[in-house]
């Protein structure tokens, strides 16, 4: 049966290589089913071990076995086809295979399968494996470097590599238990190999392969096999041996550069030991006491210097050693200076057992620094980090968009060198590093000349890089003005594009300006702006690109500097000109963001006007199918910032031009707010934009599928509506029907933004200065009442956040105020009646008095019959008491009298007990008459100014809702109440209320069966006096 099963599986494995798709599918299905059957792995191993099976079949069998082990060995439950018994059998077969490794092929696949099993079972559940692996290795001390021993070293390396990835503490403790055993068995072989290699002038590749894996085994054991290597008796000695092995490897590499080829085992061994050396320092720093921390630092710097020379001169060694090898050297140096005990020595809290080791390492490091000098150490690291080959520099100058900050910035080696220099600059080495950089700045930052060699240019780049990296170390020794004077020659030379070297130096000089900007005195901002503006006008593309970020930083850190006066428009012009030549997201987005910031700050100045050609360029970029989402959102932000120029709360509002309005409407339409082609109906300017920049179908699909476009497009529309001029009102009104149709037929994720849009439209229609023909807009608004009221109703029923609820109520308040026809009032009746019932049936405190009650009081004034009818649907007497209590929550008389009036209307329809009502009525009137009450409009509108500022994530910074605030102020005043500009609002409101409501009060008094004098006698003196002054008593 086993033979038959093996034959079937072998046939399926070979069928997997068939050129026929159907045959491969059938074979894959058969193997998938076979995986679920018990004994599948055993059958695969029998196929692999069968010498009668062809080479291809055996290879396929062991690969399939490796894959199944990796997927299913640790599976549990129903997905676990491998039983414990089969697992033991499979492990036993693998032990036999490993023991006869030389007679079986494809040992790498075997090692990978064993490694996967070891992940779960080694060492505790597979005790027999370790001896089988270690015996041939330890036997090499007598028998020489045998092939079987070398094969076992490779397998051991796979196993230990897997052990090093285990993170559970229990598994780490297992590794700690076996590490000394393994190291004791292979340590002598490792030492013998090191001696053998040191004695050879030429070494074969196979021996380097053996060395690479044996070195890997030892260094893994040292790194993860001991919790505290420095506490082990021989721990420091072993680290010293690793250091000596690295020295031997480096000596051989320098003597035989032709053997250091990419992929060679010599290079692999060197990289492996170098990386492990650095990890040893990170994991066990005090174990370097015998190796001598200072000597190790000197050795690392020696390697760094020799690598720098090789790479600078482009020798064969320099071209063969990859960047990550140099990075490992730099990381080691950084790690040396990162250890606090090395830098500062033992502290009071140090472990007594470690004080001697800490003191020794501290002395070793400081002795090395004193010997080498801090300056050469920093210079070495800056040099290797800033080393960019000439061909890469030329490539960057040709296409600076590939790296907007300059050639080589962002490269891993450069980042590692910069991080290392920053680490070195910590105490106690901060002062000498700062003094050294100051000396270099003073002596080396001379004006660039065409005759400067590449080495001179590199030295200047190093100084500039250090000034940007460690400003806090140099600032105590140099004034900003002195620094800027040193940088000025580089900026001037670059602004005229006088040579490639000048451009390279200028890119680093502007980085220094950007870094030093936060601490820069405002008096020097003008100096920087002038030179940055000159750079943005440079004929060199690289200069214009690198100037973007420093300008942005100056704008963010020094927005109030006087030097910005009259500069915004100049920078906007240059940034927009730069847009034409940019292609990558990495450069387009910062440029657009800078334009947005400049437009926002220019809003108070009011002098900039975007030209038609610029608008056309921005729309073309928007509609370019190749534009990234980030770019389109940045363009939306630019146009939102453009609306700020017309903000009515600025000193010099500059309304949108007709072309700017049409460009905004193009973007709004493309965002899916107004339907396809809506913007094309807006005017001739839009047609001009559309002719040159037709909307690609792909762009339309992207915008329609992304809700963020709808949100940003809505925010842009809100900004446009807030600054629209009288002549532009018909244009924006033409798209209102489509907007309402969109809101009514679309499932809205949130209601706050649609409500904001409709609020702005109602505001436009109710603003006198925008109504050219004596209220024509207000009349036109009546036709949209059903749709607007329905939007309010949906928002109130959705029970979203307070922001949406408040907007819906404010919209309802404006609609009540603007309702001119019975049809409009009838459209509002249902939703206000529902709102009334909801409030009157709720507990006090469950609703916002300052948002709900102004709506209901206005409804009572405009539609008293609707209020009386609604009072019959709630408990008797509730409504008048609620209105009276609400009036006491307001501080402004204009709101208080409206609520008092509503209470009287409600009392006439659904009376509360007379004694309770009149007592509360009198106290509320006395509160209204208080002489310390504030005059003017309701102070709660101060809350509205925050609520409608629309500085949410969706809308961003937009013009303030000045018109809307005024409209809400007007709607908060009861109909018929007119307050002259210079009058006392409190007195006028109280007189209007007492006189206007006297007939209604008299009717309620008569229902109470008391006379007017008796009624008034129960009132507080201030209320009695008010009635007498008005002749009402």
Q: What are phi and psi of 40, to 5 degrees?
A: -65, -45
Q: With a cut of 50, which residues of the chain have pLDDT below it?
A: 676-686, 692-693, 696-697, 933-956
Q: Are the beta carbons of 70 and 116 closer than 8 angstroms? A: yes
Q: CB–CB of 633/708 below 8 Å?
A: yes
- Could you give the CA distance from residue 1032 to residue 1024 in angstroms, rounded to a whole number? 9
Q: Which of 494, 595, 592, 564 is nearest to 536 (CA)?
A: 494
Task: Give the contacts of 472 (CB within 8 A, at least 6 positions apart).
Answer: none
What lies within 8 Å, CB to CB, of 986 at 6+ separation is 893, 928, 929, 933, 934, 935
Please give the distance of CA 657 from its chain centroid, rounded to a whole number: 35
Distance CA 403, CA 22 (A): 49
Q: How far is CA 745 from CA 13, 75, 680, in A?
A: 58, 51, 22
CA 119: distance to chain centroid? Answer: 37
Alpha-carbon distance of 216 to 236, in angstroms, equals: 18
Cis? peptide before 428, omega within 30° of 0 = yes
Euclidean distance between CA atoms 403 and 520, whole angstroms:
27
**CA of 567: how far to CAs of 519, 545, 655, 709, 930, in Å?**
21, 18, 20, 32, 53
SS3 934: strand
Kind and range of the H or E element at 278? helix 265-283
How far apart (Å, rounded) are the C-alpha atoms in residues 64 and 47?
A: 11
Tell me the H-state helices in 693-766.
697-705, 707-723, 729-733, 736-745, 752-766
In the numeric block, which tokens belong to residue 719? Answer: 């900004």
DSSP 8-state class, residue 674: S
Q: How far is CA 355 from CA 323, 352, 368, in A?
A: 37, 5, 20
What is the structure's pLDDT at 946? 38
CA angle 940, 941, 946 (to 5 degrees): 105
pLDDT of residue 165: 93
Could you count the other beta carbons within 10 Å of the beta carbon of residue 872?
Answer: 9
Give the other-Cβ count within 10 Å of 80's Cβ: 12
How many CB atoms are closer than 10 A to CB 960?
19
pLDDT tens string 839-887: 998 887 777 888 899 999 999 999 999 999 999 999 999 999 999 999 9
pLDDT of residue 78: 64
Question: Quick one: the chain helix, strand, coil %, rounded to 5?
Answer: 75, 0, 25
Comparing CA positions, the residue from 830, 808, 807, 827 lying closest to residue 819 is 827
* pLDDT score of 717: 94
Whether the bond between 123 and the residue before it is cis, its omega within 30 degrees of 0, is yes
SS3 892: strand
DSSP secondary structure of 646-713: G-TTSSS--PPPHHHHHHHHHHHHHTTSS-TTTGGGS-HHHHHHHHHSPPPHHHHHHHHH-HHHHHHH
> Could you tell me which of 939, 920, 918, 933 has the C-alpha nearest to residue 1014?
918
The upper half-sphere exposure of residue 408, i.e. CA atoms within 13 Å in the direction of its Cβ, equals 27
- Distinct helix (H) and strand (E) counts, the chain: 55, 0
Read off the tokens for 695: 């909307």
Residue 787 corresponds to which tokens in the numbers above?
């749709």
Give the orientation angle of helix 893-909 with respect to helix 998-1007, to 10 degrees: 40
How far apart are alpha carbons 190 and 701 in whole angstroms?
65
For residue 724, which of 767, 689, 753 has the smallest C-alpha distance?
767
Contact status, residue 742 vs residue 981, Cβ threshold 8 Å = no
pLDDT at site 943: 33
Which two three-digit tokens encode residue 270? 């060197």
Q: How far apart are CA 80 and CA 1007, in angstroms?
A: 87
Question: Hey, is 891 helix, strand or coil?
Answer: coil
What is the C-alpha separation between 896 and 890, in angstroms, rounded?
6
Give the rounded distance of the alpha carbon of 265 from its chain centre. Answer: 42
Q: Burial code of 333-349, b = ≥16 C-beta within 10 A, e = fewer? A: bbbbbbbebbbebbeee
* Length in residues, the chain: 1033
Q: How far apart are CA 726 and CA 729, in angstroms?
A: 5
Question: Whose CA is closest to 594, among 610, 584, 605, 579?
Answer: 579
- Cα angle value 97/184/268 (rounded, 5°): 70
User: What are the CA-CA distances from residue 35 to residues 121, 355, 682 (Å)?
Assistant: 21, 59, 67
């Amino acid at each position: 049966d086993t033979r038959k099963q093996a034959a079937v599986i072998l046939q399926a494995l070979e069928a997997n290589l068939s050129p026929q798709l159907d045959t491969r599918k059938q074979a894959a299905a058969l193997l998938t089913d076979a995986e679920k059957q018990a004994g599948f792995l055993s059958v695969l191993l029998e196929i692999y071990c069968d010498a009668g099976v062809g080479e291809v079949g055996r290879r396929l069998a062991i690969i399939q076995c490796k894959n199944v082990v990796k997927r299913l060995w640790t599976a549990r439950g129903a997905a676990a086809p491998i039983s414990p018994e089969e697992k033991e059998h499979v492990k036993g077969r693998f032990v036999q295979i490993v023991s006869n490794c030389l007679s079986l092929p494809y040992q790498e696949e075997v090692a990978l399968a064993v490694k996967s099993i070891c992940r779960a079972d080694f060492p505790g559940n597979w005790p027999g494996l370790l001896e089988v692996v270690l015996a041939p290795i330890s036997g090499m001390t007598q028998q020489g470097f045998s092939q079987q021993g070398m094969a076992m070293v490779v397998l051991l390396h796979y196993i230990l590599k897997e052990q090093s990835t285990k993170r559970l503490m229990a598994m780490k403790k297992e590794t700690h238990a076996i590490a000394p055993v393994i190291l004791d068995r292979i340590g002598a072989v490792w030492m013998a190999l090191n001696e053998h290699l040191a004695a050879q002038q030429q070494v074969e590749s196979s021996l380097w392969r053996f060395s690479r894996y044996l070195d890997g085994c030892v260094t893994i054991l040292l790194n993860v096999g001991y919790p505290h290597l420095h506490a082990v008796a021989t721990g420091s000695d072993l680290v010293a041996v690793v250091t000596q092995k690295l020295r031997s490897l480096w000596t051989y590499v320098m003597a035989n550069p032709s053997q250091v080829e990419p992929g060679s085992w010599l290079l692999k061994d060197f990289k492996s030991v170098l990386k492990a050396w650095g990890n040893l320092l990170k994991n066990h720093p005090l174990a370097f006491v015998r190796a001598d921390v200072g000597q190790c630092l000197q050795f690392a710097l020696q390697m760094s210097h020799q690598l720098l020379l090789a790479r600078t001169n482009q020798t064969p060694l320099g071209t063969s050693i990859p960047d990550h090898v140099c990075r490992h050297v730099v990381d080691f140096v950084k790690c040396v200076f990162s250890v606090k005990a090395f830098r500062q020595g033992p502290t009071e809290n140090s472990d007594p057992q470690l004080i001697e080791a800490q003191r020794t390492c501290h002395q070793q490091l400081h002795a090395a620094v004193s010997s080498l000098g801090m300056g050469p150490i920093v210079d070495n690291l800056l040099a290797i980090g800033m080393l960019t080959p000439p061909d890469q520099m030329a490539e960057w100058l040709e296409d600076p968009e590939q790296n907007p900050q300059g050639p080589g910035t962002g490269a891993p080696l450069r980042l590692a060198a910069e991080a290392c220099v920053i680490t070195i600059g910590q105490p106690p080495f901060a002062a000498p590093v700062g003094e050294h950089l100051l000396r270099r700045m003073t002596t080396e930052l001379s004006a660039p000349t065409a005759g400067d060699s590449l080495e001179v240019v590199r030295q200047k780049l190093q100084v500039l890089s250090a000034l940007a990296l460690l400003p806090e170390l140099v600032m105590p020794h140099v004034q900003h003005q002195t620094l800027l004077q040193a940088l000025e020659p580089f900026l001037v030379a670059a602004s005229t594009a006088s040579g490639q070297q000048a451009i390279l130096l200028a890119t680093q000089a502007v980085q220094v300006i950007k870094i030093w900007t936060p601490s820069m005195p405002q008096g020097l901002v003008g100096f920087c702006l002038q030179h940055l503006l000159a750079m943005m006008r440079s004929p060199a593309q690289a200069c214009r690109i690198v100037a973007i970020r420093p300008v942005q930083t100056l704008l963010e850190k020094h927005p109030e500097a006087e030097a910005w006066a009259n500069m915004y428009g100049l920078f906007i012009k240059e940034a927009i000109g730069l847009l034409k030549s940019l292609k990558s997201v990495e450069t387009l987005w910062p440029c657009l963001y800078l334009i947005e910031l400049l437009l926002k700050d220019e809003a108070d100045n009011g002098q900039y006007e975007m030209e038609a050609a610029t608008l056309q360029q921005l729309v073309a970029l928007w509609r370019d199918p190749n534009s990234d989402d980030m770019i389109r959102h940045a363009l939306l932000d630019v146009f939102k910032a453009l609306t700020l120029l017309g903000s009515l709360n600025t000193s010099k509002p500059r309304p949108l031009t007709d072309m700017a309005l049409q460009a905004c409407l193009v973007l709004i339409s493309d965002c899916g707010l107004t339907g396809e082609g809506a913007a094309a109906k807006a005017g001739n300017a839009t047609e001009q934009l559309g002719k040159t920049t037709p909307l690609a179908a792909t762009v339309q699909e992207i915008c329609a599928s992304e809700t963020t476009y709808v949100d940003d497009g809505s925010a842009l529309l809100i900004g446009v509506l807030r600054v629209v001029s009288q002549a532009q009102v018909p244009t924006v009104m033409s798209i209102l029907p489509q907007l309402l149709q969109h809101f009514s037929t679309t499932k809205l994720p949130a209601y706050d933004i649609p409500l904001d849009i409709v609020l702005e439209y109602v505001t436009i229609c109710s603003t006198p200065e925008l109504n050219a023909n004596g209220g024509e807009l207000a009349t036109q608004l009546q036709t949209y009442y059903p749709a607007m009221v329905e939007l309010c109703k949906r928002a109130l029923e959705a029970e979203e956040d307070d922001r949406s609820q408040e907007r819906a109520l404010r919209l309802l308040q404006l609609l009540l105020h603007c309702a001119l026809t019975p049809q409009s009032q009838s459209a509002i009746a249902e939703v206000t009646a529902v709102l009334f019932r909801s409030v009157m049936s709720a507990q006090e405190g469950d609703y916002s008095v300052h948002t709900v009650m102004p709506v209901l009081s206005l409804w009572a004034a405009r539609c008293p019959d609707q209020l009386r009818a609604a009072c019959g649907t709630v408990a008797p007497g509730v409504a008048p008491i609620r209105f009276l209590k609400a009036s006491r929550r307001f501080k402004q008389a204009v709101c208080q009298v409206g609520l008092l009036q509503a209470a009287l209307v409600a009392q006439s329809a659904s009376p509360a007990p007379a004694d309770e009502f009149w007592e509360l009525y009198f106290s509320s009137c006395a509160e209204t008459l208080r002489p310390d009450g504030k005059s003017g409009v309701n102070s709660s509108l101060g809350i509205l100014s925050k609520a409608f500022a629309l500085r949410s994530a969706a809308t961003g910074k937009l013009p303030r809702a000045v018109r809307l605030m005024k409209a809400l102020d007007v709607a908060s005043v009861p109909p018929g109440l007119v307050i002259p500009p210079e009058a006392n609002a409190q007195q006028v409101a109280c007189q209007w209320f007492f006189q206007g409501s006297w007939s209604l009060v008299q009717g309620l008094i008569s229902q109470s069966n008391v006379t007017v004098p008796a009624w008034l006698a129960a009132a507080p003196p201030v209320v009695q006096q008010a009635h007498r002054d008005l002749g009402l008593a």
